[in-house]
Amino acid sequence: MFENVWLIPLFPLIGFLINGFFGKKIKNEAVIGGIGTLMIFLSFLVSCGVLMQLIGLPAEQRVFEKVVFPWIHCGNFKADMAFLIDPLSAVMIMVVTGVGSLIHLYSIGYMHGEEGFYRFFAYLNLFCMSMLLLVLGSNMLVMFIGWEGVGLCSYLLIGYYFEKKSAGDAAKKAFVMNRVGDFGFLIGLFTLYWWFGSNHNIWTINFVEIKAASHLLPYGGVVTIATLCFFLGATGKSAQLPLYTWLPDAMEGPTPVSALIHAATMVTAGVYMIGRMSFVFIKSPETMMVVAVVGACTAIFAATIGTAQNDIKRVLAYSTVSQLGFMFLAMGVGAFGAGIFHLMTHAFFKACLFLGSGSVIHAMHHALHHGHLHDDAQDMRNMGGLKKYMPITFLTFLVSTIAIAGIPGFSGFFSKDEILWQAFANPYHGGLNIVLWGIGCIAAMFTAFYMFRLVFMTFFGECRINPKVKDHLHESPLVITIPLMVLGFLAVVGGYIGMPKLMGMLPNYFEHWLDPVFELANEYGKEYAHVGHHTHALEWGLMGLSVVIAVIGITIAFTMYMANNKLPEKFTSTFPALHRAVYNKWYMDELYDFLFVNPCKGFGNLLWKGFDVVVVDGIVNGVGKIFMGLSAGIRGLQTGYTHNYALGMTLGAVVIVALYIFR
């Protein structure tokens, strides 16, 4: 299977080509959707084969590089189109193709009847291909193809309803903000490449070769600069502070896109990249601290905004930003395995939540459409009591909500608790660790709060939809609910492969699996920080605490949105300024417009109209006028015909040439 790894990105590419070029002629939705889904499912099968083969090997042999064809060879620079298979990329391809297949299947139902059905599936396949290149690339440049490719696909898919201006603006914002991050990626790449080359004559951007030579890297210094640049790339792609504002806007895209790209896969690319280069990142304590602090701050910052949004998808979007913050927190405290673990469980439950919200929106839209109403189908204030009408959606949604809230026994608990524990226990940041842990805990409480607020507002209480159309509310078709059920199931059991050792029931398979990838990073880490000893009692205690925190969050949500409906209003009227600030997302968009967007536009105009036309061109035209003035004296020659001017000039040139040569 290893030799055939190139099939994994190839299948979606074929799907893209078929649907992209012939989709319009095929017309039949079942065929188009079928091709799209089949292609990514084939990739999933190949990925399973790769995984099986990898499992069959002893742990230390689980690295394989497949060069598909030589790409850029120039002087001492060399980058091949090559794929890397190791436990980390195996996890990623399984998540991408597995969750991807389910979302493709779901889309057949969700996008039914849309005008650009074929276009949607073509883009979705193209996205999968780019994402697979990103996670499989064995050097930074192949990763970068994927890295930019997913940005392009995300742009096209957010702007899927391209006649809508808001969708177009959101798409543009996403693409540009991503590109800002990509600038960091490139500079980081140059820095590492140049440092290895000029100091050790190792000219490489290949991950395996860099890993082998990573012992040469100093602690801090140039590594800090390079990793901070890479981290800038990660913040753009993974929507972290300060480059996160594009993700909530990206909800303009169709819901399956939000599930696949803006929850399960693309936005986790930054986390994956840090994992891929853990042995470089850990060599800079400063960067590690920045990563952890940015992660923790994003986690709490986005969580606060999530508490006040009324659009069901926006709540989930801020939740995604916040959960990604948790993953970065994990990476920053050196809990690489836990970060990737959370990436996986999050892919399950967040995809399920997004698809569930899509199912709700689908039903709402359908019902409102029937009554010719123009109420917002995504506004939770128009929902309520939906559990009666949509039992499967409700159940899977509830399960995933419990998982994200961190209730024991569900996948999110295992991964989030592992992150919080390591944030507390890992020694890299000294006294800061406990602060990071504290912020994480508060963010976890907010998470439980806003997620249950969402569930209560959507599925419980009285039905606030216009009574006229109530009867038209019904559960979505099987093609939509089957993916929900599978993902819901995974949201429950997905965590058991990574149960903490502490619980003693199962070994932590997941951590063992990733050990060969992160071993080296952990070793480097020990150079500057010594792992202290913590008692089991402490670990149990903190685990209990995080459960208590989650329960507190849920209780507050219950009190405010179930037991006493007047409380939220009372809260808003007591603290109007605070509510306004949170509701308006702390005015971050306005701040960015003020700081960057408007000055950029203005400056462009100023440069053009002010400098280019007036100053530079003014000088030129001035010179021209002098010539014109001179020529006015010999007006007889000025006939107004272009050829005569040209003739004059040519003759002049010839005369000057002649003068020089024959003097």
Partner 1 sequence: MGYDMTGFPFLTILIFLPLATGLCLLPVWNCRPDLWRPVALAGAIAELGVACLCWPAAAAPAKGAPAGFFLFEDYPWIAEFGIRYTLGMDGLSLLLVILTAFVTLIAMLASWRPVIDRVPLHYLLILAMESGIMGVFLSLDLFLFYLFWELMLIPMFFLIGIWGHGRRIYSAIKFFLFTLAGSLLMLLAIITLYLIHGSQTGVYTFSLYGLIGTVVPHSTALWLYGAFLLAFAIKFPLFPLHTWLPDAHTDAPTAGSVILAGLLLKTGAYGLVRFGYPLFPAAAATLSPLLMVMAVTGILYASWIAFAQSDMKRLVAYSSVGHMGFVALGIAAWTPVALSGAILQMVNHGITTSAMFAMIGMLDERTGTREIDAYGNVWGKAPRLSFFFLFFAMASAGLPGLNNFVGEFLILTGSFKVSHLAVALAGIGVILPLVYTVRLIQELLFQEERRPLIIPDLTVTECGMVVVMACLDLYIGLHPGPLLDMLHSPVAILTGGAG
- Name the residues that contact partner 1, by CB under 8 A: 24, 69-77, 81, 141, 144-145, 147-149, 152, 155, 159, 162-163, 165, 168, 171-172, 175-176, 179-180, 182-183, 186-187, 190-191, 193-194, 197-198, 600-601, 603-605, 607-609, 612, 616-617, 620, 623-624, 627, 642-643, 645-646, 649-650, 653, 656-657, 660-661
Between 61 and 166, CB nearer to partner 1:
166
Least separation, in Å, of the C-beta of 621 and partner 1?
8
Cross-strand bridge partners of residue 72: 79
Those residues with Cβ within 8 angstroms of residue 367's Cβ, 6 or more apart along the chain or in another chain: 465, 469, 470, 472, 473
Express the helix, strand and coil content of the chain in percent, nearest 5 each. 80, 5, 20
Q: Sign of torsion, CA 610 612 615 618?
A: negative
Least separation, in Å, of the C-beta of 626 and partner 1?
11
| Other CB atoms within 10 A of residue 461 CB | 16
Least separation, in Å, of the C-beta of 373 and partner 1?
24
Least separation, in Å, of the C-beta of 419 and partner 1?
32
* Token digits of residue 165: 């201006």
Between 179 and 387, CB nearer to partner 1:
179
User: Distance (Å, rounded) from C-alpha 158 to C-alpha 152?
Assistant: 10
Least separation, in Å, of the C-beta of 18 and partner 1?
15
Q: Name the DSSP class of 383.
A: -
Least separation, in Å, of the C-beta of 585 and partner 1?
23
- Provide the pairing of β-strand 77-85 with 64-74: antiparallel
Between 156 and 305, CB nearer to partner 1:
156
* Token digits of residue 225: 């600069």
Least separation, in Å, of the C-beta of 629 and partner 1?
14
Between 528 and 592, CB nearer to partner 1:
592
DSSP E strands: which ranges in 76-233?
A: 77-85
Between 594 and 603, CB nearer to partner 1:
603
User: Distance (Å, rounded) from C-alpha 587 to C-alpha 311?
Assistant: 17
Q: How far is CA 649 from CA 524, 623, 657, in A?
A: 71, 16, 12
Least separation, in Å, of the C-beta of 137 and partner 1?
11
User: Distance (Å, rounded) from C-alpha 104 to C-alpha 36?
Assistant: 7
Between 170 and 335, CB nearer to partner 1:
170
Between 157 and 557, CB nearer to partner 1:
157
Between 141 and 560, CB nearer to partner 1:
141
* Helices (H) then strands (E): counts for the chain: 27, 2
Helix (H) or strand (E) holding 188: helix 165-200
> Hey, is 513 helix, strand or coil?
helix
